[in-house]
Structure 1
């Protein structure tokens, strides 16, 4: 049985509650979906901070926080949530509070460097990117982002980093070890992307469905991947069928087989797809197979192997499908 990834969520006074709770719920729901599939959980959530309890951005008291550990397990993920901006009329922090903040930054600087060297992942949500910058974790050329109101501040704190505007999230570093997102709900988009990388697109889509949110696949493309497109609906039977197709695109998915999986007639299935997904069942299947083949080709597979793994009868059929898509104005993603 594989060991769950330690996901350590940094909590500080004024932590934006949605920055914290949104990603945490996404990881929890991913574990829940894995248990339902009788698979081991992928994530172990831990909440750490310099104080055992503190007030969140909305005043809700957060307690039971672990102290920062002396060392992090190799492969851990460290998530830095955003923090509310202080109001102009708020009193200046006390010397004790400043000392706590400084101690926290020193821990982050020390452990963050070790984390990245040992194959871990640094995840910054909203103004959590500023915290990473103050800890010296965003060095020369690192691509990163933050809430749009904080980009200039981020540039000042990390002058050698490459700050990216107008992105939901940005990934950089070896194996995308450094991830950062824009404000508030963008942390959910980023978390879903990380879940998809770790657990598969179908499971991430099921988490997004449960959370009733849209799912963004890529930091480079504002459009949805074919694996995640046509899913902005709440029809449970269609989602189950789409999950099954994404999980096994090479299966013999005739219209009758798809209808049987959805427990409807083929005619009714076509109506459901048109109404809720905006595409035909076979058109959806073809888009999934084409995306799977494109991914395999990008990994270096031969055209023949990519075609068969995705469910095409031959590399010639794959080539004809790609050409038809290109002629229609829909270019391959890779």
Structure 2
């Protein structure tokens, strides 16, 4: 057995002032619970957690002050992860003395799969981009910071609307709670899917999301408008996507004509009514598949008339693989 696989992974959360607490506290708790579960099995802990910063004290996004933070490491003995997290606000400032020190420190690191790896959560990807670490790599960040990431490093291949992206030795997540999804995935890679599921259950994480899942739920998409009538129709369709919906039936809910309802959808939701319906049905089918339903049963529960219609929608909206492949991933 590789001696490195027996050594605990040193996980260094590199924090600046006003770091988003949930960005680092959620993943850190997942790692702590994983260690706890391993001890209960009579196995060694796999993760050694540290909190480092350019300064010994730091104030968090919610005003809690952290004291006794370690200096940013300069020596690496054995496998390690560096975790970068976000800060509140629509943009991330890299002009502060602390940010400059952190970026300079990142530029001196040599990331290598299985040795020294980088995990970014939310706008932590911006810090990595300014350090040049994301050049030539695929990465994501919170949807509010996607354009900022493009401007920070034009050579980074940005993946939008994704929970997290794997491009070893770099792993990036969309933001806030997606850091938990990313760390659960990494726990599963290192310690097995059963342990990751146990950690998720302990944390009461309702659904573990993977690297192919969208950042934004389809049930929340196309809802960023203030049109009450359209919201009423969307509520009805969301509650019963398997119903025998048509544009005229939706129009009855809105008490308007089918033509006017279509105009409302396009103008306020940015999508046609039947396209919106198919997206919801596809999301319902994915949830059914993740719960163990067969492709036939998932199609039935979500309102698709047949397996063929489900497969057609699956490929139409650019999902990877197929419904059958999704089932196979679950049973492995």
In structure 1, the partner of 2:146 is 151
TM-score between both structures, scaled by the size of structure 2: 0.62
Q: Tell me which of 61, 72, 83 is aligned to 1:79.
A: 83
Distance 1:117 1:185 in 2: 24
* C-alpha separation in 1, matches of 2:98 and 2:121: 21
Higher mean displacement: 70-79 or 36-45 = 70-79
Find the aligned partners of 2:102 and 2:26 in 1 and give their Cα distance.
Answer: 23
What secondary structure does 1:116 align onto? coil
Distance 1:102 1:208, change over 3 A: same
User: What secondary structure does 1:79 align onto?
Assistant: strand
Q: 1:119 to 1:204 in 2, by over 3 A?
A: same
Inter-partner Cα distance in structure 2 for 1:196 and 1:117:
16
Report whether the alignment pairs 1:193 with 2:185: yes
> Would the alpha carbon gap of residues 118 and 186 (structure 1) be closer, same or farther in structure 2, given more than 3 Å must change?
closer
Q: Compared with structure 1, are the counterparts of its residues 217 and 183 closer, same or farther at alpha carbon in structure 2 (3 Å cutoff)?
A: closer
Structure 1 residue 84 displacement after superposition: 1.7
How far has the Cα of 1:52 moved from its partner? 0.6
SS in 2 for 1:331: helix
Structure 2 SS opposite 1:192? helix
The aligned counterpart of 2:304 is none
Q: Which residue of 1 aligns with 2:165?
A: 170
Q: How far off its partner does 1:332 sit?
A: 2.5
In 2, Cα distance between the equivalents of 1:222 and 1:159? 23
Q: Equivalent of 1:49, from 44, 48, 53?
A: 53
Matched residue of 2:111: which SS? helix
Aligned to 2:99, which of 78, 98, 101? Answer: 101
Matched, 1:127 2:120: no
- Measure, in 2, the Cα distance between the counterparts of 1:144 and 1:278: 29
Per-residue CA distance 1:166-223 (angstroms, 9 max, x = gap): 1111111xxx321111111111111111111111111001110111113435312569
Q: TM (normalized to structure 1)?
A: 0.62
Output the CA distance in 2 between the equivalents of 1:204 and 1:117: 21
Q: Find the residue that maps to 1:30 and give its secondary structure.
A: helix
8 Å Cα contact 1:16/1:83 also seen in 2: yes
In the alignment, is the contact (CA less than 8 A) between 2:114 and 2:169 conserved in 1? no
Q: What residue ranges of structure 2 are gaps of 5+ in the alignment? A: 216-286, 295-306, 312-322
- 3-state SS, counterpart of residue 189 of structure 1: helix
Which residue of structure 2 lines up, in the alignment, with residue 116 of structure 1?
112
Contact 1:192–1:215 (8 Å) recurs in 2: no
- For residues 138 and 204 of structure 2, the distance between their equivalents in structure 1, rounded to whole angstroms, comes to 30
Could you tell me how far apart the structure 1 residues matched to 2:86 and 2:53 are?
13
State how far apart, in whole Å, the 2-side matches of 1:74 and 1:42 are.
12
Q: How many residues align?
A: 227
